[in-house]
Amino acid sequence: MVNDAGQGLYGRFVDTDINKELDIIQLNISAYVVLTKLFLRDMVYQQRGKILNVASIAGKVPGPFQSVYHGTKAFVHSFTEAVRAEIADTGVTITSLLPGATDTDFFNKAHMEDSKILDTELADPAKVALDGFNALMDGDDMVVSGFKNKAQVAMSNITPDSVVAKQMLKQQEPRDSH
């Protein structure tokens, strides 16, 4: 099973619509929990199966202008790692895929057309999907798709969160800022 739901909402948290954010939390978190629970029970009973949960490198770094999205993806990754530990001896694999900015319709749906993040090269969705598939088939706990994303996650692991948040603010702010 592949859990690949994810929506975001662009803007300063103080200005965004709480109802849209609650819908994002429902989709990005609750749907993963429900589907994982439903499929995992049968898989554990049968002692075989594989689940790929699409998290994001967004879950590894604070995300100004996308605070709720980044928070939900942090949940997905942490949730996946926790469940993986619980089912380690069952014959079931659960893998967390952490892509970066990918060339999908996500940015349009999140109203991010003016974000500086779109000035960077976006990952090929087929490459991201292949990375996730290969990691799942290999039984890996997680995979960060793309060299640039691996470097960003590695640097964020040794950099204070407040500094990373300021860096992400600059990467994701609207183009007309400053």
* Enzyme catalytic residues: 69
Q: DSSP letter for 124, please.
A: P
Residue 98's beta-bridge partner residues? 144
Region of residue 139 (phi > 0: left; psi between -120 and 50: alpha; otherwise: beta): left
- Within 8 A by CB and 6+ apart from 149, the residues are 57, 98, 99, 100, 123
List 3's β-bridge partners, or say none.
53
Is the separation of the CB atoms in 146 and 98 below 8 Å?
A: no
